[in-house]
Amino acid sequence: MAEREVDRSVSQTVKAQLALRDQILSGSLRPGERISELQAVETTGASRTPVRMALVRLEEEGLLEAIPSGGFMVKAFSERDISDSIELRGTLEGLAARFAAERGVSARELEPLKECLAAIDELLRQVPISIEAFSSYVTLNARFHALLTELSRSPPLVRQIDRAAALPFASPSGFVMAQSALPEAQQILIIAQEHHRVVIDAIENREGARAEAVMREHARLAVRNLRLALRNRTHLDLLPALALIKTATD
Amino acid sequence: MAEREVDRSVSQTVKAQLALRDQILSGSLRPGERISELQAVETTGASRTPVRMALVRLEEEGLLEAIPSGGFMVKAFSERDISDSIELRGTLEGLAARFAAERGVSARELEPLKECLAAIDELLRQVPISIEAFSSYVTLNARFHALLTELSRSPPLVRQIDRAAALPFASPSGFVMAQSALPEAQQILIIAQEHHRVVIDAIENREGARAEAVMREHARLAVRNLRLALRNRTHLDLLPALALIKTATD
DNA sequence: TGAATACGTTATGTATACAATACCAGGGGC
DNA sequence: GCCCCTGGTATTGTATACATAACGTATTCA
């Protein structure tokens, strides 16, 4: 290789994976579209071997689909695929919460969760919420969910939850973003925050069933509001990932 | 390449993946052991590129772990990892059963399940059950679970369930195999069959909560008996996959 | 004698060449 | 006029060569 600039700080494989995922989620590559390796080589700057590794990883991640005759295409999701994935994640997070409650969590471990909770409370006190605060909310909410998941002390479960969140809109952040278009966004966030509060309380009091139930309800709230948000599609044009949802089916 | 024999009927990548998975599950490669690409090239007969693709896939599958400094090692599972994975699968199958019940399933779609059920009934009528019948049971049970999963009509959920079953002993077959060592094996299978019967009934009557509950109970039964089977470890020596469970921790 | 460094070996990460297959276009036959 | 067959092209699958980083070993110095 002569003139290709190589960034040696991260592996080419990782670089290609990030670049391709970005292209998919940003909508540069449309669902159903075949990904050409050669084209990916040009856009990512890596060579074919790392690109192929990245493609395999993205396929396992669920964003790509293998074409029987060879190669990969961008996977298309129905609205139901997305809502199922959210409910799926809620179910898994419910299990995580139950594990946490049943297995016991020390006050020290719960501390970061409570800090997160307090920080979100602080944000929600603003009426109406500012753009910056909303952006912070997205981060804090993702952090809360990640911490909660960790409390289960179950690596296989954590792994599965991460997987379930791979689909666009199925991650904590994606879900919040989707709802941002709704006029009732702030009320929704307040209800969600109440769920957060309840799950911590339940874990603290070792009420596994209650902890599980509230996380599932949390997901159902998300599903309901994603549906509403999708009806308001005009407000969502800022979210290119939306293009991933095929409009025809479902 | 001069003398390497190449089987062109399946892709080298798939061949390598199957061969490596087999080596891992059969215990040829021990947990924690580093997998050398060169060695894998020799044992699988594929060249480095497909071997690497297979390694990446197996890592995503959860059987391998990436070593930070490069390469892969066989993942080690604690007993709790396994039991968590079984419970995880039960939870997901519960969700699948609930989806099936809520979304409705035609009599025609339920037919294969009922046939499966009847076939298992037939097998269990033998006392004591023969080795051949037991082997048929393993197949039929796997089929039942696969069919049930499909009834959810939720591709993301099906995908996740498949993933959850990747760990040794976490698949329907693996679980049955593990229990085969227990003296109460036949009673356990009879109880499990009752669960199967109930879940079909619940789906037929569109009782989502009941369908879900029984699948979760089904998994809890599996967890309890896996624990028992692991106490009887001597009987299980015929199962090399057991070596994958690290004995020190947990 | 122990520790640290330098060197050699080995393995992985990356790039590219080669092979085979699938897709498309054009022409000929029915 | 339509379908099938054939040839070319493009793209993927596979193999291997090269570069680079990690690990082990031996030697030297304190």
pLDDT higher than 50, residue B242:
no
Q: Would you state the pLDDT for residue B133? A: 81
Q: Is residue B51 part of a domain?
A: yes
The reply to whether B205 and B103 lie within a common domain is yes
Please indicate, yes or no, whether residues A45 and A159 belong to a single structural domain of this protein.
no
Task: Respond yes or no on whether the N-terminal peptide bond of residue B128 is cis (omega within 30° of 0).
Answer: yes
- The mean pLDDT of B1-6, rounded to a whole number, is 35
- pLDDT, mean of residues B124-147: 86
Q: Of A40, A74, A108, which residue sits at a domain end?
A: A74
One domain for residues A124 and A204: yes
Contacts of A97 in chain B (CB under 8 A): none
d(CA B114, CA A66): 33
CA distance A143 to B29: 37
Q: How far is CA A181 from CA A193, A227, A229, A233, B30, in A?
A: 18, 12, 6, 9, 52
CA diameter of chain A: 63
* Å from the A35 CA to the C26 C1': 28
Q: What is the 3-state secondary structure (H, E, C) of chain B?
A: CCCCCCCCCCCHHHHHHHHHHHHHHHCCCCCCCEECHHHHHHHHCCCHHHHHHHHHHHHHHCCEEECCCCCEEECCECHHHHHHHHHHHHHHHHHHHHHHHHHCCCHHHHHHHHHHHHHHHHHHCCCCCCHHHHHHHHHHHHHHHHHHHHCCCCHHHHHHHHHHCCCCCCCHHHHHHHHCCCCCHHHHHHHHHHHHHHHHHHHHCCCHHHHHHHHHHHHHHHHHHHHHHHHCHHHHCCCHHHHHECCCCC
Question: Per the domain annotation, does B1 fall within a domain?
Answer: no
A9 CB closer than 7 A to any strand C atom: no
CB contact under 8 A, A57 and B62: no
Distance from CA of B201 to the nearest CA of A (A): 23
**For the residues B18-47, what does the mean pLDDT come to?**
90
> Of B53, B57, B81, which is closest to A156 when you measure between CB atoms?
B81
Domain count within chain A: 2
Asked if residue A48 keeps its beta carbon closer than 7 A to nucleic acid strand D, the reply is: yes
Task: Determine the Cα–Cα distance for residues A159 and A57; give it in Å rounded to an integer.
Answer: 15
Least confident of A113-117, B83-87, B181-185: B181-185
Question: What is the pLDDT, as a whole number, of residue A27?
Answer: 79
What is the Cα–Cα distance from B54 to A52, expressed in whole angstroms? 12
**Cα B48 from Cα B70, distance rounded (Å):** 15
Rounded distance between C-alpha atoms, residue A129 and residue A115, angstroms: 20
To the nearest whole Å, the CA of A155 is away from the closest chain B CA by 7
Q: How far is CA B186 from CA B127, B129, B139, B239, in A?
A: 8, 7, 16, 19
Mean pLDDT of chain A: 86
The C-alpha atoms of residue A80 and residue A249 are separated, in whole angstroms, by: 9
By the 8 A CB rule, do B17 and B57 touch? yes
Whether residue A2 lies inside any domain: the answer is: no
Give the H/E segment covering residue A224: helix A208-231
Which percentage of chain A shows pLDDT scores above 90?
Answer: 61
Q: In terms of residue numbers, what domain contains B121?
A: 79-244
In a domain, B134, yes or no: yes
> In terms of domains, do B64 and B178 share one?
no
CA-nearest residue to B152 within chain A is A84
Q: What is the mean pLDDT of residues A162-173?
A: 86
Q: Are residues A192 and A111 in the same domain?
A: yes
Domain assignment present for B123:
yes
Q: Does residue B179 register a pLDDT over 90?
A: no
Give me the residue label for tokens 């094996």: B185
Contacts of A167 in chain B (CB under 8 A): 156
Is residue A98 located within the same domain as residue A204?
A: yes
Residue A174 lies in a domain: yes
Give the pLDDT confidence score for residue B243 in this predicted structure.
Answer: 47
- The band of B181, judged by pLDDT with boundaries at 50, 70 and 90, is low
Residue with tokens 């479960």: A157
pLDDT band at A2 (very low <50, low <70, confident <90, very high): very low
CATH code, domain carrying A35: 1.10.10.10
Per-residue b or e along B107-117, where b marks 16 or more CB atoms closer than 10 Å to that residue's CB: eeebeebeebb
Does the C-beta of B125 come within 7 A of strand D?
A: no
CA A65 → C1' C27, Å? 36
Instruction: Give me the B residues in range 17-56 that sit within 7 A (CB) of strand C.
Output: 34-38, 48-49, 52
Residues of A within 8 A of B80 (CB-CB) are: 154
B80 C-beta less than 7 Å away from strand D = no
Res. B4: pLDDT tops 50? no
Identify whether B87 is part of a domain: yes
On whether any CB of chain A is under 8 Å from the CB of B197, the answer is no
**Residue A154 sits at the chain B interface (C-beta within 8 Å):** yes
Q: A69 and A85, same structural domain?
A: no
Residue A58 and residue A145 in one domain:
no
Q: Does A102 touch chain B (CB under 8 A)?
A: no
Give residue-wise pLDDT tens across range B228-241.
877 766 544 444 44
Nearest to B88 by CA among B169, B27, B7, B12: B169
Question: Which residues of chain B are within 8 Å of residue A160 when distances are taken between CB atoms?
Answer: 88, 160, 163-164
Which of B43, B74, B105 is a domain's end point? B74
pLDDT at A170: 85
Q: Give me the pLDDT at residue B196, please.
A: 97
CA B213/CA A133 separation, integer angstroms = 41
- Is residue B31 domain-shared with residue B87, that is, in the same domain? no
Tell me if A6 is assigned to some domain: no
pLDDT score of A133: 81
Q: Which residues are registered as beta bridge partners of B77?
A: B245
Q: What is the pLDDT of residue A88?
A: 97
Which residues on B lie below 8 Å from A155 (Cβ)? 81
What is the percent of chain B with per-residue pLDDT over 70, rounded to a whole number? 88
Per-residue CA distances from B162 to A35, B93, B142, B221 (Å)? 25, 10, 12, 20
The confidence score (pLDDT) of residue A233 equals 62
pLDDT in tens, B140-166: 999 999 999 999 999 999 999 999 998
Q: Are residues A87 and A107 in the same domain?
A: yes
End-of-domain residue from the set B74, B97, B123:
B74
| Subunit contact A92:B87, Cβ cutoff 8 A | no
Please state, for a pLDDT cut of 70, what percent of chain A lies above it: 88
pLDDT tens column, A204-235: 999 999 999 999 999 999 999 888 877 766 54
Q: Are residues A49 and A83 in the same domain?
A: no
Residue from A197, A187, A6, A23 nearest A117 by CA: A197
State whether A53 and B53 contact (CB < 8 Å). yes
Angle at A171 between CA A248 and CA A241, to 5 degrees: 40
Question: Minimal CA–CA distance to A61: which of A182, A157, A164, A135?
Answer: A164
Strand C contact at CB of residue A40, distance < 7 A:
no
CA distance B40 to B57: 14
| CATH number of the domain bearing residue A85 | 1.20.120.530
B118 and B26 within one domain: no
